[in-house]
């Protein structure tokens, strides 16, 4: 019987790429996200099981967990950024939303699935945070605050599960170009979203991050990658982004 992997945020970007990747790796994947139409397309494409779910709805998360018989791997991807205003002008509702999805969503799903992750031969919780979990930048206050908090959740959980056969892994990507991340953050301003990646020779793709998730999950069960920070080669540090050709053509 295949190992079961639950992936949140499965309707697009890193979540959808992770579903595709873990299906290829032989997992029985359950992809969850809010948008049922996108999930149905992913189900038809990959053969993964899907289940519409808003990770901020604790009761529905509990109902979802009760529907599962086993779970070996949980990949927390649901999250995102909303707003890029400086602190002086930031909207509290955006910050609240980012905390709800990135932090409490991860909390709800992790809490609900922990009994199953603990019950099997060895469980793995991978949480996809961000380099914004460790550094700050102008206009990123609310997102960075949420990602710092999500990182704190991961670090605390690893300590609390010490002595149990459950790995707790953080994958922290830097600049990833997806269809929605920058667009959502910039409230649909496509020109500003495109400018984020302008001139960058190969930002990370969702598939690149999914590859990292596959890597850490596929290691032997006694090998715990605490934190995998992954950036495109063009981004030596958060503020040091090379814009221009990087590789010989």
x/- site string to ligand 8X3, residues 137 to 166, per CB under 6 A? ---x--------------------------
Residue 143 is among the residues annotated as catalytic for this protein: yes
Residue with tokens 């599960």: 161
With CB under 6 A as the contact rule, the residue among 12, 127, 130, 214 that binds ligand 8X3 is 130
Strand 123-128 with 4-8, pairing: unpaired
Element (H, E) at 13: helix 13-24
State yes or no: residue 80 binds ligand 8X3 (CB under 6 A): no
With CB under 6 A as the contact rule, the residue among 5, 14, 132, 206 that binds ligand 8X3 is 132
101 half-sphere exposure, CB direction, 13 A CA radius? 21
State yes or no: residue 209 binds ligand 8X3 (CB under 6 A): no
Q: Where are the beta strands (DSSP E) in 24-114?
A: 28-33, 49-52, 73-76
Shortest Å, Cβ 236 to ligand 8X3: 13
Distance (Å, whole) CA 122 – CA 168: 11
Distance (Å, whole) CA 120 – CA 92: 41
The one catalytic residue in 99, 137, 143, 197 is: 143
State yes or no: residue 232 binds ligand 8X3 (CB under 6 A): no
- Cα radius of gyration rounded to whole Å, the chain: 17
State yes or no: residue 76 binds ligand 8X3 (CB under 6 A): no
State yes or no: residue 174 binds ligand 8X3 (CB under 6 A): yes
Cβ 88 vs Cβ 36: under 8 Å: no
Residue at shortest CB range from ligand 8X3: 130
Q: Please give the structure tokens belonging to residue 91.
A: 């909207």
State yes or no: residue 46 binds ligand 8X3 (CB under 6 A): no
Shortest Å, Cβ 144 to ligand 8X3: 7
């Amino acid at each position: 019987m295949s190992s079961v992997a639950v992936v949140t945020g499965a309707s697009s970007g890193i979540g959808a790429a992770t579903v595709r990747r873990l299906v290829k790796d032989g997992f029985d994947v359950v992809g969850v996200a809010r948008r049922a139409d996108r999930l149905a397309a992913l189900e038809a494409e990959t053969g993964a099981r899907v289940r519409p779910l808003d990770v901020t709805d604790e009761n529905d998360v509990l109902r979802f967990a009760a529907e599962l018989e086993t779970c070996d791997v949980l990949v927390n991807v649901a999250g995102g950024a909303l707003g890029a205003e400086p602190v002086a002008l930031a909207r509290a509702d955006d910050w609240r939303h980012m905390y709800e999805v990135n932090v409490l969503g991860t909390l709800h799903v992790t809490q609900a699935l922990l009994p199953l992750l603990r019950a099997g031969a060895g469980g793995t919780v991978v949480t996809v945070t961000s380099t914004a979990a460790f550094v700050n930048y102008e206009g990123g206050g609310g997102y960075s605050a949420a990602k710092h908090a999500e990182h704190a959740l991961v670090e605390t959980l690893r300590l609390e599960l010490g002595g149990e056969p459950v790995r707790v892994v953080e994958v922290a990507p830097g600049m990833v170009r997806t269809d929605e991340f920058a667009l959502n953050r910039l409230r649909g301003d496509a020109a500003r979203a495109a400018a984020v990646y302008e001139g960058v020779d190969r930002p990370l793709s969702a598939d690149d991050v999914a590859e990292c998730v596959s890597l850490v999950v596929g290691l032997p069960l006694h090998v715990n990658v605490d934190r995998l920070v992954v950036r495109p080669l063009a981004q030596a540090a958060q503020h040091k982004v090379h814009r221009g050709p990087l590789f010989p053509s």
